[in-house]
Amino acid sequence: MIIFDYIVNLSIYSLLVSTPLVIRSYINHQPLKKLHLWVAVYAGFVSVILVMLSVKQQGFSYDIRYAPIILVFTYLGPVAGLITGAISLLYRLYSNGHWPAAIAGWALIMTVFSILHVYLSLFPPLKRSATLFGAYIILYICTVFSFHILQDQPIFHIQYLLFVMLGVLLGGLLIESNEKLRRIITEKKVIEKTLEASESKYRLIAENTSDLIMVMDKDHSISYFSPSHEFILGYQSLKFEGTTLCEFVHPDDLAMFKDTIQRMLDNMEAHSMEFRLKHKEGHWIEFESRCRPVKGDSGLIEHIVIISRDISERKKAEEFLLQSEKLSIVGEMAAGVAHEIRNPLTTIKGFLQIQKKEKHPIKYSDLLLSELERIETITSELLSLGKPQAVQLTRTDVKELIAYTVEFLSPQVLLRNIEFKVSYEESAFPITCEKNQLKQVFLNILKNAIESMPNGGMIQISLRKEAEDECVILVEDQGCGIPEDHIHRLGQPFYSLKEKGTGLGLMISHKIIKQHHGRISYRSKVNEGTLIEVRIPLIK
C-alpha cells in the first residue's frame, strides 16, 4: 500500500508540475512581474497537496513535498525556495504532529540548500538538483538518527528517499523538456521573422529593380522571374509558366547560350554572356547577363540565377561612337593621303611643265619613277589596311616565324654592319595565327629597328613565356630612340619619325596583333635605343 500511495503522489505531482508548463506553451502573454515569486507560491501549494496525500507510518507523516522544494531551489534560488518551503512547513505543522523533528529538519535543510546555492550557481540545472538531493539524503539521515525516527525500518526510509528522488528527476525532466521546447519554438519564431523580413526585403528589390532576375532549372525551365520582365519584354507572368528560356532566345544566340550554361554546370563557375530575347511584339532586345549556379543540399547544382540588363541603348551608343570614330579616322587618313600623295605629284607635275616649256627629252626620268613608286607604295599600304584579307589560321611556332624573318633580313643587316642576337627561354611557343600576317608584323618591326641604326650595332630578339598562356617577344635595338612624348602616337596613320615614312606599317602591325588577341607596347630613350614588346596568347 505504501508503494501505491507514493505512486499516486508521483502521478498527481507530475500532473501539477506539467499543467502550468503546458498552459504556458499555448498562451502568449507578457511575463508577470516577479514571476519567480508567483512560481514559488504555486510550488508551495503543490507541496501542500502532497502533504495532504502523505503516507502515515506509526504516527509520522511522510510525503514527497521536498521534491518541488529542491526544484525551486535549483531553478529559482533561495528566496523562492524559502517561500515554497515555508508554505509546505506551515501546512505540515497544521496537519500533523511531531513538530520538533519537522521544524528542525526544515531549518537545517533550508540553511544547507541556501549555502549550497551560492557554490552551485554556475552548474547546469540537472547537476544542481542532483547535488541538492544528495545533500537532502544526508540531512534526512541525520534527522532520522537525531530524533530516533523508525530506525528499525530502513526499507521504509529507502523507499521514501527513492520516491523523492523520482519526484526530483521526473519534475526536472518535465521542466527541462519544456524549456528546451520553448527555446526551440522561440528560435523558430525568430528565424521565421528573420526569413520573413529577408524575403520581404529581397522581394522589394526584385519587384522594383529594372534588371531582369530569373531562376532557371538545369533543364532550362523557368521557376522564377521578376515583374520587370513584363515592363521590358511585354509578357505577363503567366506567359513564362511551364516554358523554357530557350524559346525566347534568338536562334543565332541559342547555341552559344546552351554551351555557356553547360560549361557553367560542368565547371560550377559563374559566367557572363550577351544574348537577345524576343519581345512580345516580335523584335529582339539585347541583354547582358550574369549567370550564377546555385547548389542544393546534395552539393550539386539545382538552379541557375540569371540577372540580365537591357543594353540595347548602350549598343546603339557604342555603334554611334564607333561610326564617329571611323569617320574621324577616315578624315584623318584622307588628309594624310592627300598630303603624302600631293608631294610626289607636285614634283612630277613641275618637271613635266618644265619639259613642256623646254621641249627637251625627259632628263629626270629616274626621279619621276621614284616618286611614282612612292605613290604606289602608299596606295598598296592603304589597300592592305582597308581591304579585308582572307585569314587562314594555323598552328605555328613563334620561333619559326622569327627565324624566317631574321634569315630574310640577313643580307640587309650584313651590309649595314648590324648583328641579330636571338635567345629563347623555352623550347616551343605554339600559337594559332595567320603566318603571313605575323611575318609582316615582325618584318615591319625589324626593318624599323635596322633603319634606326645607321652606324650599325646589335638587335636583341628574345622570346619567353609568361603566366603559362602568353608568349612575349622582345625586340631591342641600339638606334636613335624615340622621344617619350611621341611614343603614344606610334601606330597612327601617316605618323613616322623617318624622313620618307608613312606610319602605315606600324598601323597595320597594330591591327594584325589586335586581331590575334595580342598587344604591342614601346619603351625608348633618345640616342639609347628602343624596346618593343609584343604579347600573343599561347595555345596548349
Dist CA 196 CA 214 (whole Å):
21
Which residue has cell 515583374? 227
Q: Is residue 68 classed as helix, strand or coil in its secondary structure?
A: helix
Cα distance between residue 291 and residue 274, in whole Å: 11
Asked if 163 and 10 count as a contact pair (C-beta separation under 8 A), the reply is yes
Three-state DSSP at 224 gives strand
Q: Are the C-beta atoms of 337 and 382 separated by less than 8 Å?
A: yes
Fold of the 1-183 domain: Arp2/3 complex 21 kDa subunit ARPC3 (1.10.1760)
Query: Which class for 516: exposed (0-12), middle (13-18), buried (19 or more C-beta within 10 A)?
Result: buried
pLDDT in tens, 82-113: 888 888 888 878 877 667 877 888 888 889 88
Question: Residue 67: what pLDDT?
Answer: 86
Provide φ and ψ at 524, rounded to 5°: -155, 150
Helix/strand/coil (H/E/C) assignment for every residue in 138-153: HHHHHHHHHHCCCCCC
CATH number of 394-537: 3.30.565.10
For residue 298 the three cell numbers come to: 546534395
- At residue 416, the pLDDT reads 84
SS3 readout for 253-279: HHHHHHHHHHHHHHHCCCEEEEEEEEC
Provide the residue ranges of all domains of the chain, joining segments of one domain with +.
1-183, 207-311, 316-386, 394-537
How far apart are the C-alpha atoms of 361 and 504, rounded to whole Å?
Answer: 36
Report how far residue 81's alpha carbon sits from residue 110's, in angstroms, rounded to the nearest whole number: 8
CA–CA distance, 342 with 371 (Å, rounded to integer): 11
Dist CA 325 CA 334 (whole Å): 14
pLDDT at 299: 74
Residue 290: partners with Cβ closer than 8 Å, 6 or more residues away: 270, 271, 272, 306, 307, 308
Report the distance separating Cα 467 and Cα 97, nearest Å: 97
Q: What is the model's pLDDT at position 430?
A: 87
The pLDDT, as a whole number, for residue 474 is: 92
Q: Does domain 207-311 have CATH number 3.30.450.20?
A: yes
Q: Per the structure block, which three cell numbers stand in for 403?
A: 627565324
pLDDT at 378: 63
DSSP 388: P
Terminal-residue alpha carbon distance, the chain: 92
Distance CA 9, CA 531 (A): 101
**pLDDT tens, N- to C-terminus, the chain (540 residues):** 467 766 777 777 777 777 777 777 666 655 667 777 888 888 888 888 887 877 766 655 667 788 888 888 888 888 888 888 888 888 878 877 667 877 888 888 889 888 888 888 888 888 888 888 888 888 888 888 887 777 777 887 787 788 888 888 888 888 888 878 878 888 888 888 888 887 777 777 666 666 778 888 878 888 777 777 777 777 765 566 667 778 888 888 888 888 888 888 888 888 888 888 888 888 888 888 888 888 877 777 888 888 888 887 777 776 766 665 555 555 556 556 656 666 666 666 666 666 666 655 555 556 666 666 666 666 655 555 555 455 578 888 888 888 888 888 887 888 888 888 888 887 788 888 888 788 888 888 888 888 888 888 899 999 988 877 888 999 998 888 888 777 766 766 655 656 555 566 777 788 888 888 888 888 888 888 889 899 998 887
CATH class of 316-386: mainly alpha
Greatest Cα pair distance, the chain, in angstroms, is: 164
pLDDT digits (tens, 9 = 90+) for 27-73: 665 566 777 788 888 888 888 888 787 776 665 566 778 888 888 88
